[in-house]
Amino acid sequence: MQVAKEQDHPSEVSRSSDELRLRRDLAAAYRLVAHFGMDDIIYTHISARLPGRHDRFLLNAYGQRFDEVTASSLVTVDMDGQVIEDPCNLGINPAGFTIHSAVHAARPDVVCVLHTHTVSGVAVSCQADGLLPLNQWSLQFHDRIAYHDYEGIALDHEERQRLVADLGEQYVMILRNHGTLTCGRSVSEGFKLMYNLERACRAQLAVQASGAELVLPDPAVREKTARQYERFYEKLETDGTVADSEWDALLRLADTHCPGYAA
């Protein structure tokens, strides 16, 4: 999908400090997803709502690998799929627009939407029981995962209503026979949820492959653990005095292994 730009590119000087920070974080998330092997060549996306705007979000240019994305190469799109700013003149992936615009339109609390097609995530999405409450990584998602049935490549805009209805108020979704999706009140939260979801999927496949009998924690412990994670993320996202040390560490990793993402 490539649409003529509505306006000239704003200069970096004209962008707010909040937008510059968001662009840096989003570009870092793309690079980190690639670094941890969660990308899919030029497919799947991470989007972020522009600060102070309900109808504009940033998305990767169609054709760029995740390890090529930079803060200045991100495409600005509105809720109707109109490309507002496209520095690389590559347009966007229509399927990416369908999924991400649906979530952003329905969930004003969500800043970032991250979607992946990892082997582990797709494998778990094909299992009837989905993600199992097997370990500490997966317990943070206990009774907090939405599921959406596969309807083909996400090009049908009518699917958006069904997708957001299935998502409800959750921040994590398994797209059956397709992949995984996380939402965050920040890019940091969206990335960390996906990172832990991916590890939970890998661990599930590993223990299933071992053939050993599964040990599931008590239901009360499952809920306790999920609530512990919820309180931690809530404080991190709403208390401005709490430092996001994990995201700071990830940014340092990106600086070392993925230089240039902030350009």
Is 50 exceeded by the pLDDT of residue 3?
no
Asked if residue 11 is part of any domain, the answer here is no
Predicted confidence band at 136 (pLDDT cuts at 50, 70, 90)? very high
Sign of the C-alpha dihedral computed for residues 214, 215, 219 and 222 taken in this order:
negative
Q: Is 127's pLDDT higher than 70?
A: yes
Count CA atoms within 13 Å of residue 57 on its CB side.
33
DSSP state string for 142-173: TT-EEEE---SSS--TTHHHHHHHHHTT-SEE
When pLDDT is averaged across residues 33-38 and rounded to a whole number, the result is 98
pLDDT band at 1; cut points 50, 70, 90 = very low
What is the reported pLDDT for 11?
52
In a domain, 80, yes or no: yes
Question: In this model, does residue 10 exceed pLDDT 80?
Answer: no
In the numeric block, the tokens 């060549």 are attached to: 41
Q: For 235-261, how does the pLDDT look when each residue is reduced to its tens digit (9 = 90+)?
A: 999 998 999 999 999 999 999 999 999
The answer to whether position 262 is within a domain reads no
Residue 184 maps to a domain: yes
φ/ψ (deg, to 5) at 112: -125, 140
Contact residues for 226 (Cβ-Cβ < 8 A; gap 6+): 139, 140, 141, 142, 143, 144
Residues 119-146 have a mean pLDDT of: 98
Please report whether residue 118 resides in a domain. Answer: yes
Number of folded domains in the chain? 1
198 near 121, Cβ under 8 Å?
Answer: yes
End-to-end CA distance of the chain: 25
Asked, for residue 236, whether it belongs to a domain, the answer is yes
**Mean pLDDT to the nearest integer, 98-112:** 93
Summarize pLDDT for 141-159 with one digit per residue, the tens.
999 999 999 999 877 778 8
Per-residue pLDDT, 2: 40
**By residue range, what is the domain housing residue 66?**
16-257
Range 225-233 average pLDDT = 97
**What's the CA angle centered on 233, arms 232 and 234, to 5 degrees?**
95
Name the DSSP letter for residue 67: G
Return the DSSP state at 178.
T
Q: Where is average pLDDT lowest: 80-84, 116-120, 203-207, 215-219?
A: 80-84
Model pTM score = 0.92
Cα gap 12→262, rounded to integer Å:
12
Residue 43: the pLDDT is 93
Tell me, what CATH number does 210's domain have? 3.40.225.10
Taking only Cα atoms into account, the Rg of the chain, rounded to an integer number of angstroms, comes to 18
